[in-house]
Amino acid sequence: EGLIHQTGYAQPALFAVEVALHALLSHWGVSPDVLVGHSIGEITAAYAAGVLSLADAAALVAARGRLMQALPSGGAMLAVGAAEVDVRALLDSMTDGEASDGGLTSAGGDRSNGGGESSGGGSAVVGGGESTSGLVVDVAAVNGPASVVVSGAEGDIERVAELATERGWKTSRLRTSHAFHSRLMEPMLAEFAGVVRGLSFAEPVVSVVSTVTGRAVESGLWSDPEYWVEQVRKPVRFADALGALEGVSRFVELGPDGVLAALVQQPDAVAVPLLRRERDEVATALTALATLHVNGVPVEWSAVYAGTGAQPVTLPTYAFQRQRYWLETRPEKASAADPVEAGFWDRIEQGDLPGLAMQLGVAETALEGVLPALTSWRAQGQERSLVDGWRYRVTWEPAPEPGPASLSGTWVLVGDAPLAAALEYHGATIVSVPAGSRAELTAVLRGLDATGVVAAPDSLEEALALVQAMTDAPSGAQLWLVTRGAVATGRADGAVDVDQAQLWGFGRAVGLEHPEFWGGLLDLPVELDRRAAA
């Protein structure tokens, strides 16, 4: 595993993965309109565009990795969350204004994205200017408006990190074996140029964008061996490359992770990686393919499902009638109120003491203490009626106590040991199982021929693990969730147990999603008495 972090091994490995993913995507009928590569990924893009044969591209990658690996170690790379102009200003301040721009050029991006120099893939750097001072740091990559990578000597990079942190910028050291795209690469360029000049180059057959110039590749640029020598030293301007992709709205990253896809910021753009680190490879690739398909990218599905036995399903031959069956709602008609009664309540709401006394034929003094109370009672009743109309109210009605229960067969009891005695009393054979993980519970359930499962979980986590285990090991047994003090049916019940109450909401959802094994919910008193156990 340690070898993969050495650039002599990492670069060929990245190239092999990217070439394989490109072949897979082509087999599935997905052909890119534009290609762009990030650092080592640009060589993969050159192969995919027909600029290099597979043999020459592999030789170029192998020499690139071998010569870089032979350079002295000690370099470092740092990702900085700041704009390029601000990072360059920081570097200039560190050299007392003696740094020159060094002819920085821009680099590009595309629908097929490659990786960087290390096994991280895709998170390489963009190189920057030269310095006439002792500071050995260059801008190595500009990946976004506030995403810059600097590369250089270990001590200088540590100083940059300190100053960047003082300015409130986020920083992150990259796990690399060398300081790529910096002046520390220069000792290998002459020998690398000799290798490059011995290869055969052609014009690209697919539109490509350079991550060295940040513009579309013009005739003669990628077929010039000197370009590939400069590509080692110059910065990777991935942000400029993305900006040059006018009209491109769907991106797919070919690499070991989704680093570059996350950098795509175009409005309404869809960017998916074909692989993600520590994710199931088949599921990730098929999810990416499905995402491209629903966003208008043609896919050859017969090739995708070749050898699986899957058969296409023919849609109905008749046209859909498009009839709508929405229920039409009509405003409720207000019932006609008795005018006398309406006048009475109007005077109550308005606090009209003389008018109310006249209507009732009594002295005002008789109503002086009653009218404020009636006015308040009327207002509270209207507010309560309005709130009740906004929500549902759960009401509990007493049910007759059932007769003695009779159970048979084997029942699995997960947690709550006191329930075992009650279940056994009614004829059940109990297998007690402690709460556990999904895998542990699945293994237990697969080995039992159970009539039912009774669970008294202490938390949502325990309940979820059990439900997942029952989906993994279907047996026909019904699941009953038992809670303690989760429901209050009246004031005498007191406060509910908040943790247990959550299980009722969870249980209702399980009943809808898994009716095939759902039994129901049962709330028991906190202290299990004989009446409840019966």
- Sorted by where each begins, the domain ranges of the chain are 2-243, 339-371, 410-533
Identical fold for domains 2-243 and 410-533, yes or no, is: no
The CATH code belonging to domain 2-243 is: 3.40.366.10
The CATH code belonging to domain 410-533 is: 3.40.50.11460
Q: What is the pLDDT of residue 119?
A: 34
Residue 276: phi, psi to the nearest 5?
A: -135, 140
pLDDT tens digit at each of 534 positions of the chain:
678 888 999 999 999 999 999 999 999 999 999 999 999 999 999 999 999 999 999 999 999 999 999 999 889 999 999 999 999 999 999 986 443 333 222 223 333 333 345 433 332 222 333 443 588 999 999 999 999 999 999 999 999 999 999 999 999 999 888 999 999 999 999 999 999 999 999 999 999 999 999 999 999 999 899 999 999 999 999 999 999 998 899 999 999 999 899 899 888 899 999 999 889 999 999 999 999 999 999 999 999 999 999 888 887 776 667 777 787 766 655 555 567 777 787 888 888 888 878 878 778 787 787 888 888 887 777 777 766 666 666 677 777 776 666 788 888 888 876 778 778 777 888 888 888 898 988 888 887 888 889 988 888 999 999 999 999 988 888 999 998 888 877 766 667 788 888 888 898 899 889 998 999 998 887 776 666 665
Q: Which residues contact 8 (CB under 8 A, 6 or more apart)?
A: 65, 66, 68, 69, 70
Of 115, 110, 122, 106, whose CA–CA distance to 211 is shortest? 106
Residue 165, helix vs strand vs coil: helix
Residue 313: phi, psi to the nearest 5?
A: -105, 130
* Spatial contact of 152 and 138, defined as CB atoms under 8 Å apart: yes
* Spatial contact of 171 and 81, defined as CB atoms under 8 Å apart: yes
**Measured distance CA(518)–CA(79) in Å, rounded:** 51
Residue 210: phi, psi to the nearest 5?
A: -85, 140
**Measured distance CA(37)–CA(40) in Å, rounded:** 7
* Spatial contact of 507 and 523, defined as CB atoms under 8 Å apart: no
**Helix, strand and coil in the chain, % to nearest 5:** 40, 15, 45
**Measured distance CA(308)–CA(302) in Å, rounded:** 10
Structure tokens at 435: 């709460």
Of 200, 178, 181, whose CA–CA distance to 189 is shortest? 181
**Measured distance CA(196)–CA(451) in Å, rounded:** 72
Torsion of Cα atoms, 480 then 484 then 487 then 489, to 10° = 110
**Measured distance CA(444)–CA(329) in Å, rounded:** 52
* Spatial contact of 223 and 51, defined as CB atoms under 8 Å apart: yes
Q: pLDDT tens digit string along 298-332?
A: 999 999 999 999 888 887 776 667 777 787 766 65
Triad 252, 253, 254: Cα angle to 5°:
120
Q: Characterize 207-224 residue by residue with b for buried, 16 or more Cβ atoms within 10 angstroms of its Cβ, and e for exposed.
A: bbbbbbbbbbbeeebbbe
Strand partners, 428: none
Note the pTM of the prediction, 2 decimals.
0.56
Q: pLDDT tens digit string along 25-46?
A: 999 999 999 999 999 999 999 9
Q: Which residues contact 84 (CB under 8 A, 6 or more apart)?
A: 139, 142, 148
Helix H or strand E segment including 371? helix 370-390
Strand partners, 36: 209
